[in-house]
Amino acid sequence: AAKAAGKSAYRRSTPALRESAVSRAELIADLRRAVDEEQLRLEFQPIVDLATGAVRSAEALVRWRHPRLGLLSPARFLPLAEETGLILPIDRWVIKEACRAAATWQDRVPTATVAVNIAAAHLRRPDLIATVTEATAGAGLAPRALTLELTESALIEGSDAVLDRLGQLRELGIRIAIDDFGTGYSSLSYLHRIPATELKIDRSFVSRISDDARAYATVEMVTRLADAFDLGVVAEGVETERQHDAVAAIGCVQGQGYRYGRPAALAELRAVLTKAALPGGGGSSR
Ligand code: C2E
Ligand code: MG
Ligand code: MG
Ligand code: MG
């Protein structure tokens, strides 16, 4: 049976996965070199203010330019990185690069922020605080310009030490977003304990918002919850005009998705930030 399953998995898999199945050890060795050999790169996806269309924020998303396999998405290599612990140097590189990028936006949009994804393993590390403060200070970036995105599952396994660490990060001014909100096991008591600054409503709800009353109700409920808790709220994965209209009508504050822009190179994101900051003039919205 294992053989049959292996065979069908082989047939269904993409070229990159087929190759990695042939030599998993090799891929791990490659990944170990990826940071030092500058094969990782960041793309930035705009996060827009739904009422004004202004872009003041972007999420940094990592990609791996593999020497033989080409450009790999996070889904292709992050599971392996997490298994091997290589996620730590990768995330450290991402935090540092994202801070350097955001520092170059400040002259255009002084309130611009950058969001980075943090693996569960990183949350358990006491040196997370040093990693983050060295990255912001090194880039000359104010801590309030950096958002750490954490998933519910990463937070749920969090000990008191993790909560303390998050509290310290908040005291430094770092923002904390709960990513893919609604897909984990969030309870209300837990939301009281996490010092979050924003909720990111998972794409699975947003994608069904126009034809599924429960998905609509979920987006509405999370938006009200965020308002009541005085948290920011971002609708993830907005692809269509209808989805945009629905999340905007509900009163969700920010949106992210292909409707507004795909993850793009740093220069492209910088151009979008500039363009969005100019119309409307006066800068009264901030
Ligand atoms: P995420 O943090 O929820 O990031 C959003 C993902 O949704 C990104 O996929 C983005 O490209 C995709 N997306 C954005 N808008 C749309 C849309 O309108 N439609 C659809 N179908 N997809 C959209 P990506 O870049 O492949 O990243 C996948 C996940 O990998 C991320 O999910 C995050 O959990 C993780 N990840 C990405 N970069 C990093 C990183 O530097 N460190 C860590 N630890 N995890 C990362
Ligand atoms: Mg994220
Ligand atoms: Mg997300
Ligand atoms: Mg998501």
Each residue's pLDDT tens digit, 75-103: 999 999 999 999 999 999 999 999 999 99
Each residue's pLDDT tens digit, 2-24: 444 444 444 444 555 555 454 78
Two tokens, residue 185: 């096991």
Most informative mutation of 78, 88, 153 for ligand 1 (most atoms within 8 A of CB): 78
CA of 11 to the centre of ligand 2 (A): 31
- The binding-site residues of ligand 1, defined as CB within 6 angstroms of any ligand atom, are 45, 61-62, 73-75, 78, 87, 91, 94, 117-119, 149, 179-180, 237-239, 256-258, 263
The DSSP-derived string for the chain is: -HHHHHHHHHHHS-HHHHHHHH-HHHHHHHHHHHTTTT-EEEEEEEEEETTT--EEEEEEEEEEEETTTEEE-HHHHHHHHHHHTTHHHHHHHHHHHHHHHHHTTTTT-TT-EEEEE--HHHHT-TTHHHHHHHHHHHHT--GGGEEEEEEHHHHHT--HHHHHHHHHHHHHT-EEEEEEETSS---HHHHHHS--SEEEE-HHHHHTTTT-HHHHHHHHHHHHHHHHTT-EEEE----SHHHHHHHHHHT--EE-STTT---B-HHHHHHHHHHHHSTT-TTTT-
d(CA 188, CA 193): 9
Interface pTM, i.e. ipTM: 0.98
Residue nearest to atom 4 of ligand 1 (CA): 61
d(CA 90, CA 77): 11
- pLDDT per residue of the chain (286 residues) written in tens, 0 to 9: 344 444 444 444 455 555 545 478 889 999 999 999 999 999 999 999 999 999 999 999 999 999 999 999 999 999 999 999 999 999 999 999 999 999 999 988 999 999 999 999 999 999 999 999 999 999 999 999 999 999 988 887 668 889 999 999 999 999 999 999 988 776 777 788 899 999 999 999 999 999 999 999 999 999 999 999 999 999 999 999 999 999 999 999 999 999 999 999 999 999 999 655 455 544 444 3
Q: What is the pLDDT of residue 25?
A: 87
CA of 180 to the centre of ligand 1 (A): 10
